[in-house]
Amino acid sequence: MKWMLEPFNETEKRPLYVRSMVKKTVEKDIKAQVRNEETLKDGRKGREKNISFAEGNEKPVQEKIAIVRCETVSEVCPGVACFKAFNKKKLHFKEYGNDTEIIGFFTCGGCPGRRVSRLVKSLIKHGLTTVHLSSCMMLDSDYPPCPHIEEIRKSIESKGLKVVQGTHH
Ligand code: SF4
């Protein structure tokens, strides 16, 4: 795909994660039209279509958090209690102000938490500050507590992030 200078420069002004999303979208659309050159109009259309919802009106946010939960437990839990506790700023979320955003909610990917490091890394680009390990990883009830929680916690902390063990218990 040949990128013209003007749209290329326009796209390069965006943050890295936005840049790659716009490029992929534009290239897909152009291929569908059996063309191989990208114009400024294509670039703007791609941005409008896919990422404009996430741009502009950015308020300063104190904390951006993500929740990691157990892959096995996720088969029986849609995560309602984690979200309720966060929305009401209760239990392990009680220290946060109303300007705190939840920017990620994902399962660990199965033992020994194989997806955690990769997804945390990708959220750092979006301003992630703190990761909560869901209460399901610590409870000893229908499922045993996670035997890998220490490695998971250390791998997140090694990226310079704060880790909180718990969400709604
Ligand atoms: S690593 Fe821990 S949290 Fe992830 S599936 Fe295994 S037991 Fe569950």
* Ligand 1 center to 71 CA (angstroms): 6
Last residue of a domain, one of 54, 72, 94: 54
148 in the same domain as 88 = yes
Q: What is the pLDDT of residue 57?
A: 59
77 in the same domain as 133 = yes
Each residue of 108-145: pLDDT tens digit?
A: 999 999 999 999 999 999 999 999 999 999 988 889 99
Binding site membership of 110 for ligand 1 (Cβ less than 6 Å): yes
Range of the domain at 133: 64-165
Q: What is the pLDDT of residue 11?
A: 67
Q: Whose CA is nearest to atom 2 of ligand 1?
A: 146
* Ligand 1 center to 146 CA (angstroms): 5
Each residue of 77-89: pLDDT tens digit?
A: 999 999 999 999 9
Tell whether 94 is covered by a domain.
Answer: yes
136 in the same domain as 77 = yes
134 in the same domain as 84 = yes
Angle at 50 between CA 35 and CA 80, to 5 degrees: 145
CATH number at 44 reads 1.10.8
86 in the same domain as 48 = no
More confident residue, 142 or 158: 158
Q: What is the pLDDT of residue 44?
A: 77
Binding site membership of 10 for ligand 1 (Cβ less than 6 Å): no
Binding site membership of 126 for ligand 1 (Cβ less than 6 Å): no
Each residue of 48-59: pLDDT tens digit?
A: 777 676 666 555
More confident residue, 59 or 107: 107
Max avg pLDDT among 16-25, 26-35, 53-62:
26-35
Q: What is the pLDDT of residue 141?
A: 85
Look at residue 156 and tell me whether its pLDDT is greater than 70. yes
112 in the same domain as 48 = no
Please give the average per-residue pLDDT across 55-80, as a whole number. Answer: 86
Look at residue 42 and tell me whether its pLDDT is greater than 90. no
Give the dihedral of Cα atoms 57, 86, 92, 81; nearest 10 deg. Answer: -160
To the nearest whole number, what is the mean pLDDT of the chain? 87
pTM of the model: 0.74
31 in the same domain as 68 = no
Q: How many domains does the chain have?
A: 2
* Ligand 1 center to 151 CA (angstroms): 11
Q: Whose CA is nearest to atom 8 of ligand 1?
A: 70
Q: How far apart (Å, rounded) are the C-alpha atoms in residues 59 and 44?
A: 24
77 in the same domain as 16 = no
Q: Which of 67, 69, 71 for mutating ligand 1's site (highest number of atoms within 8 Å of CB)?
A: 71
Angle at 84 between CA 80 and CA 127, to 5 degrees: 95
Q: Whose CA is nearest to atom 6 of ligand 1?
A: 111
Binding site membership of 146 for ligand 1 (Cβ less than 6 Å): yes
Tell whether 59 is covered by a domain.
Answer: no
105 touches 66 (CB < 8 A): yes
Q: How far apart (Å, rounded) are the C-alpha atoms in residues 68 and 110?
A: 11
Q: What is the pLDDT of residue 96?
A: 94
